[in-house]
Amino acid sequence: MSGVFKQSYVKDLSTMNDFLNGLYVINAVNINYGYAAAYPELIADNLKPVSATTANLQPHYKWMQLADNIDKQELVGVHPQATAMNPLWQLGYRGIRGCNFVIEDIGKYRPENNARANYIEGQALALRAAFHFILVNTFAQQFGYTVNGQHPGIPYITFSDVTKSYSRESVAEVYRHIVEDLNRAIELMPTGAYDSRLMNKLAAKALLARVFLFMEDYPNAKKIALEVTKDVPLLSIADGYPDAIFKYSNTKSNESLFQITPTGSPALSTTFLGVRLSGTSKRFVSTNDLANLLTEDGADVRSKWVRETSGIWEVGKFPQNSAPEVVPEITVPSNAYYPAFIRSTEMFLTVAESAAKLGEEALARQYLNLIRKRSNPAIEDTDASGQSLMQLIQRERRKELCFEGLRMFDLQRWKLDIVRSDAVFSESKTLLYPSDKAIAPIPVSDVTLMGISQNKGY
């Protein structure tokens, strides 16, 4: 769908919905594909290359990215020599411009069915916000890097015309646009419609809570996260936690609010991150300290997310053969599953962190204990307070959300150093906060052609 000339293809709500589905494909096979999904975990301290000879994302792991303009760089195995995140920038904005086309043109077809048009527009707005959120966290320092987020962010593009100019906005402005898009999406999308394969009202609300958390707006983050937790409870062990999180259910029973759907796109087969963590295509393994954290309590069901094999910790968080409904379209069905873009567990952790920051420690402990006891029902409630409570929340967030693409962003917003006890290369043991190398360089083409300022250090 991404190759169709959109202006001539879209003629009504049905074909507009087809075009929107193409944006989900772009998200699946490009923006959240294996290497892009690995990036925030690899440049932090959750993943490491399987060996010193692994070429994929090696400069990124070493914090030695280069500002270059190699157009053929990709985040797939065809080009393991990629030295920057240029493809994520290019493909992210490609998806954004597709969203913009939907938003711009949906009014033409609204008389056919206003409710359906609203849902289509709401999805496009939420996807546009999600894509910009990924980009601003990859190519700009976290919101709290300066007072009120006044440092350079990224362009927030709200038009589909590729000939129009654009410029970087402050991180604060980017977040303001994201909040506006999500609020509008929540307003447009129906309450009753729920399909975790599509952006929906609950997923948009959860993403908004995540955005407020990253903005350090703890009252709003807590408020919205609480609303989501009341609507979507934690998945219990009896009901399939944790494997069911990565399977499709057309109800809220698996706690995944928005899942990325496997698709049989040629050559990619949307194997996501799982294929890069197992088998002959394995490129990354868990770091020792994360593995030790996950396995410190053998009664915790998450301890099976890693397994020691020949001196390395392989990752087994993502269950195989978890998307039988899309076979035979998937060429490697054993690697098919549904990555969770956002899920209710994160909202419980958001309540805990926000409440702790607001001094509401009883509420913070309550929601933290719900997460801890879900994984090991026999564990005792914590009575931690102060900094000890915050550290426990951070540990629990690392355990629960490991390999889901948030680790680097969390470390940066917490203003913590990256310390690797088992770094593969001697020059990549520690990255002190703050660092220019914590973020990726802006592609040189945008710097030279559009006059966009390059990130410091590049």
- CA-to-CA distance for 34 and 272, rounded, in angstroms? 4
- pLDDT in the model for residue 79: 58
Query: CB atoms < 10 A from the CB of 170, how many?
Result: 18
Q: Which run of H or E residues covers position 256?
A: strand 256-259
421 neighbors 288 (Cβ within 8 angstroms): yes
- pLDDT in the model for residue 266: 46
Tell me the per-residue pLDDT of 227-278, one tens digit each, with 9 for 90 and over.
999 999 999 999 999 999 999 988 888 999 999 988 765 444 456 788 788 8
* 53, two tokens: 């000879």
Q: Which run of H or E residues covers position 48?
A: strand 47-49
- pLDDT in the model for residue 267: 44
Contacts of 24 (CB under 8 A, 6+ apart): 127, 197, 198, 260, 261
- CA-to-CA distance for 86 and 410, rounded, in angstroms? 22
Contacts of 244 (CB under 8 A, 6+ apart): 235, 253, 254
- CA-to-CA distance for 414 and 142, rounded, in angstroms? 9
Omega of the bond leading into 49 within 30 degrees of 0 (cis): no
Which has the closest alpha carbon to 249: 118, 340, 119? 340
138 neighbors 439 (Cβ within 8 angstroms): yes
Ranges of residues in the chain whose predicted pLDDT is under 70: 1-7, 69-81, 264-271, 327-332
317 neighbors 338 (Cβ within 8 angstroms): no
- pLDDT in the model for residue 3: 42
All domains of the chain, ordered by start, with CATH?
6-442 (1.25.40.390)
Tell me the per-residue pLDDT of 411-458, one tens digit each, with 9 for 90 and over.
999 999 999 999 999 999 999 999 999 999 999 989 998 999 999 999
- CA-to-CA distance for 260 and 134, rounded, in angstroms? 15
